[in-house]
Structure 1
Amino acid sequence: MSVTEYGKALQVTETPIPGLVVVDLPVHGDARGWFKENWQREKMTALGLPDFGPVQNNISFNDAVGTTRGIHAEPWDKWVSVATGRIFGAWVDLREGPTFGAVYTTELDPSKGIFVPRGVGNSYQTLEPDTAYTYLVNDHWSPIATYSFLNLADEAAAIDWPIPLDQVQISEKDKNHPRLAGVTPIGPKRILITGANGQLGRSLRAELGDAPHIEYATREDLDLTSPDLETARRWRDYDTIINAAAYTAVDTAETPTGRRDAWAANVTAVTHLARIATDNGITLVHVSSDYVYDGTSQTPYTETDPIAPLGVYGQTKAAGDQIVATVPRHYIIRTSWVIGDGHNFVRPMASLAERGIDPTVVADQTGRLTFTTDIAAGIRHLVDTGAPHGTYNLTGSGQPTTWYHIARTVYDITGHDPQRVRPVSTTDYFANASGPVAPRPTNSTFDLTKLHTTGFTTPDWRESLALYLS
């Protein structure tokens, strides 16, 4: 490498292939030789490179000029550089999508590196003897991983190799790889939705659809409390886990059996998922609850207000929140008063109205209804837009209200006299309960400002209620 290349500033150059970026590396040298920081996490992520979490460092040494290798697209990211010598590199996008088949070529010497995202085919030809080609990868080789390969001489890619392919060293395997028309594109990383049969799980299925890379799991499919969960999947193939599974029987949680089951589902299972997400660079989406608060705030709760759960259910949800918060890539969705396709407050009220029954309904708890369709849409928005990781309040918007007024609204929308609904205090409502009763937060109203800054807003709960009942 010539002296004129010393002292180059660290900078990033985009390429026509999304996610494939070339990086100029500062090289410091004198009469003794040279030194460079080949991968410097803090500096490079500050420039926008992914914090891709390498787990293995490989070196390919090439004796002769013209040694040619590739085109291989593996299901992991690579950081490629040259330790000694010089290469002509060629990269072909073999991922599903509009840029499938796109090609980028350049020369690399020790003063340059390139980040190669998962699914982009990687190949090179040595231009100097004794060339050492190095690459960091963020997964270990696996016989069950999905790979794609492209023939080095593919006419559609039309790579202009500096040295003709009939004059260089190529392996027989590389000579026999398919042309572009025969390549199986690498699909996106998988998305796992747990609790797929629950109210939120069903709304997530409606929102996300049934694409091949989206997996829906029930308790029968995947036991989240199992100590063997870490080996139940090839987790490096997953990008996101949306945990819609939870124990939500707030009153039963106050019983000995319920307490055990609540901690298993809301803490033990979440701990396993958090460990898997951390170890494999997965984004973990976790759904939280208003029950993590004691409800005594005189203003809407923000994401930074201290938690203070009152009952067992709230304690388990609060513990789960704290665990998920340790995952580098996480979204905690804090919601309340959830209504979806299943057992909820609204359907029984509509049934009572239709059957001529006049109910008494709690009038001293304040909040907003939240429909699972809105939670599912909000989760998709945060994940798809890459919103900053952290905790987000997500409920219906509009004026906060009480369960009593919601019941009256249900009667009104369904064509019945709302005066038939009578108010009652929480204490009086549960005065004759036959079993344990979990304490309820009095105020379950959330501030939605942080969510709105990401570009997502929910409908007024009254509009959603009318649509739901229609």
Structure 2
Amino acid sequence: MPIEFSKGLSARATPIPGLIILDLPVHGDARGWFKENWQREKMAAAGIELPDFGPVQNNISFNDAVGTTRGIHAEPWDKYVSVATGRIFGAWVDLREGDTFGAVFTAELDPSTAIFVPRGVGNSYQTLEPDTAYTYLVNDHWSPDATYTFLNLADETAAIDWPIPLENVEISAKDLQHPRLADVVPMPPKKILVTGANGQLGRALREEFGEHPWIEYASRAELDLTSPDLDAARRWRDYATIINAAAYTKVDAAETTEGRVQAWAANVTAVAALARVAGRNGITLVHVSSDYVFDGTADGAYPEGAALSPLGVYGQTKAAGDVVVSTLPRHYIVRTSWVIGEGNNFVRTMASLAERGIDPRVVDDQVGRLSFTSDIAAAIRALIDGEAPFGVYNVTGQGEPVTWFDVARTVFELTGHDPGRVTGVSTAEYFAGATGPVAPRPLNSVLDAAAAQAVGLPLADAGVRLREYLERA
């Protein structure tokens, strides 16, 4: 069968999600033919939405005889398959967990066609011409520790209509022994790793994502992000996303000699190590940032693209971490403020003071919005599941900005106590008698959530969330 030379560069969807067949321009004359087998820039210009999957290996399969048939193998990596010479019949079966498990697609490939095969989709090829060679780019190296899934070529459920009957072709004994579809263990999705799993946000992320084999929650004791062995701590190619909820958050202690070292280690050195792992392995890194990366002097809310201008050591380390993460092609920086979750926090402290009859002095010149960890976790999941554009997203509670003094009075009122017991003071007055180092605070912590709202992140009213939080306490 002659090669088709008249095609333009285009792509066609298949019944299997992510499995995309491509038509490639082939240029021929009396000398032979030439094609650009993988041309990322032209594919993007043509509107072909293939992931920039970062191949690390190029393999070639050469087959002498017509009918050589290779088994239905699903590997834990993506591959781009094309024909160098000859012609093949391809069969693909979705062996991933999900609604399309068992879906089948078949097609013939010659040098003018190629196909992108996503991780977990079983693929098999039967040669239709002698001296056929096909090539595939893959974005991982074979490993004995990786997870592989197989399907029998003769499975009755898939019912593949092989051009050359299987009893008449060359097949390896191993391929003949693979299981039927009913006995196949589906390929699990790539993993999600949550660091800082024991913190306020880490606990909320565990509640949001739940317990699944493909989700890991790690505390510092379980995964030291500053270890020189971090690259070998996991088979990182099995991970799709790292959510970094680990951080040093002792704002005042960060101003001490010891605290400064600890803050830089946790908020910069560890983040840089995660960024290195993510970059090398095509992992999306979700990094949680802070309003402390700004000096609080802005007139109005800080947009996502506002220039960083931290005041103290804690803010400086968070800003440095943001810069490191922003260099990755696949990243979400989730910037938040005034975080409230399970554990010790300002709201619980005020509720306890109210109950114990203590009348607090609370600063009334710092303005912002409360952000509840359950909402931050939900927003992070929405970013990942919705495959939102990578970049910075401000994620805070919504509603009118308030002061810490306003929050304290509201807590007193909602818990049945007299809000008049709370006295407002300036930040300078509040810390006037401090005996240890005090970090400078941004007076304006209001963040503009326009980008988050544009992609439909679930942002709740902070006042409503405060009431619900106290009702559960």
Shorter-chain TM-score tier: over 0.9
Matched, 1:273 2:274: yes
Show the counterpart of 1:2.
2
Show the counterpart of 1:201.
202
1:309, 1:291 → 2: CA distance? Answer: 6
Secondary structure of the residue aligned to 2:216 is strand
Letter in 1 for 2:392: T
Show the counterpart of 2:295.
294
Question: Structure 1 residue 133: deviation in Å?
Answer: 1.1
**TM-superposition CA deviations, 1:348-394 (whole Å, max 9, x none):** 10011111111110000000000000000000001000000000000
Letter in 2 for 1:375: I
Tell me if the contact between 2:81 and 2:117 (Cα under 8 Å) persists in the aligned partners. yes
Show the counterpart of 1:133.
134
Secondary structure of the residue aligned to 2:61 is strand
Show the counterpart of 2:447.
446
Show the counterpart of 2:35.
36
Secondary structure of the residue aligned to 2:116 is strand
**Where do residues 79-94 of structure 1 align in structure 2 (5 Å cutoff)?**
79-94=80-95
Show the counterpart of 1:106.
107
Question: Structure 1 residue 458: deviation in Å?
Answer: 1.4
1:349, 1:169 → 2: CA distance? Answer: 76
Letter in 1 for 2:213: P
**TM-superposition CA deviations, 1:223-279 (whole Å, max 9, x none):** 001111011000000000000000000000000100000000000100010011111
Show the counterpart of 2:21.
22
**Where do residues 204-219 of structure 1 align in structure 2 (5 Å cutoff)?**
204-219=205-220
**Where do residues 253-272 of structure 1 align in structure 2 (5 Å cutoff)?**
253-272=254-273
Show the counterpart of 1:47.
48
Question: Structure 1 residue 212: deviation in Å?
Answer: 1.0
**Where do residues 415-430 of structure 1 align in structure 2 (5 Å cutoff)?**
415-430=416-431
Identity of aligned residues (%): 72
Secondary structure of the residue aligned to 1:348 is helix
1:55, 1:277 → 2: CA distance? Answer: 15
Tell me if the contact between 2:86 and 2:128 (Cα under 8 Å) persists in the aligned partners. yes
Secondary structure of the residue aligned to 1:397 is coil
**TM-superposition CA deviations, 1:114-145 (whole Å, max 9, x none):** 00000000101000000001100000000000
What TM-score do you get using the length of structure 1 for normalisation? 0.99
Question: Structure 1 residue 44: deviation in Å?
Answer: 2.4
Letter in 2 for 1:86: R
Matched, 1:12 2:11: yes
1:47, 1:177 → 2: CA distance? Answer: 34
1:453, 1:129 → 2: CA distance? Answer: 55
Matched, 1:388 2:389: yes
**Where do residues 147-186 of structure 1 align in structure 2 (5 Å cutoff)?**
147-186=148-187
Secondary structure of the residue aligned to 1:408 is helix
Tell me if the contact between 2:193 and 2:243 (Cα under 8 Å) persists in the aligned partners. yes
2:398, 2:41 → 1: CA distance? Answer: 39
Question: Structure 1 residue 47: deviation in Å?
Answer: 1.2
Question: Structure 1 residue 464: deviation in Å?
Answer: 0.4
1:295, 1:236 → 2: CA distance? Answer: 40
Show the counterpart of 1:361.
362
Secondary structure of the residue aligned to 2:444 is coil
Secondary structure of the residue aligned to 2:348 is helix
**TM-superposition CA deviations, 1:183-237 (whole Å, max 9, x none):** 1110000000000000000000000000110000001100001111011000000
Secondary structure of the residue aligned to 2:135 is strand
Show the counterpart of 2:315.
314
**TM-superposition CA deviations, 1:8-41 (whole Å, max 9, x none):** 1111100001110100001111111111111111
**TM-superposition CA deviations, 1:90-130 (whole Å, max 9, x none):** 00111111111111000000000000000000101000000
**Where do residues 399-418 of structure 1 align in structure 2 (5 Å cutoff)?**
399-418=400-419
**TM-superposition CA deviations, 1:291-336 (whole Å, max 9, x none):** 0000000110001110100100000000000000011110000000
1:153, 1:409 → 2: CA distance? Answer: 68
1:164, 1:348 → 2: CA distance? Answer: 74
Tell me if the contact between 2:378 and 2:458 (Cα under 8 Å) persists in the aligned partners. no
- Listed as ranges, the gaps of 5+ residues in structure 2 are none
Secondary structure of the residue aligned to 2:70 is strand
Show the counterpart of 1:75.
76
Secondary structure of the residue aligned to 1:298 is coil
Tell me if the contact between 2:375 and 2:458 (Cα under 8 Å) persists in the aligned partners. no
**Where do residues 326-345 of structure 1 align in structure 2 (5 Å cutoff)?**
326-345=327-346
Secondary structure of the residue aligned to 2:333 is strand
2:99, 2:398 → 1: CA distance? Answer: 37
Q: Structure 1 segments of 4 or more deviating over 4 A?
A: none
Letter in 2 for 1:339: I
1:357, 1:150 → 2: CA distance? Answer: 69
Letter in 2 for 1:210: E
Letter in 1 for 2:2: S
Question: Structure 1 residue 7: deviation in Å?
Answer: 3.2
1:355, 1:148 → 2: CA distance? Answer: 61
Letter in 2 for 1:12: A
Letter in 2 for 1:149: F
Tell me if the contact between 2:192 and 2:239 (Cα under 8 Å) persists in the aligned partners. yes
2:284, 2:192 → 1: CA distance? Answer: 9
Matched, 1:350 2:351: yes
Show the counterpart of 2:462.
461
Letter in 2 for 1:25: L
- Aligned pairs, number: 469
Show the counterpart of 1:231.
232
**TM-superposition CA deviations, 1:17-76 (whole Å, max 9, x none):** 111010000111111111111111122244101111100000000000000001100000
- Listed as ranges, the gaps of 5+ residues in structure 1 are none
What TM-score do you get using the length of structure 2 for normalisation? 0.98
Show the counterpart of 2:117.
116
Secondary structure of the residue aligned to 1:319 is helix
Question: Structure 1 residue 156: deviation in Å?
Answer: 1.0
Letter in 1 for 2:33: W
Question: Structure 1 residue 178: deviation in Å?
Answer: 1.0
1:214, 1:303 → 2: CA distance? Answer: 29
Secondary structure of the residue aligned to 1:124 is strand
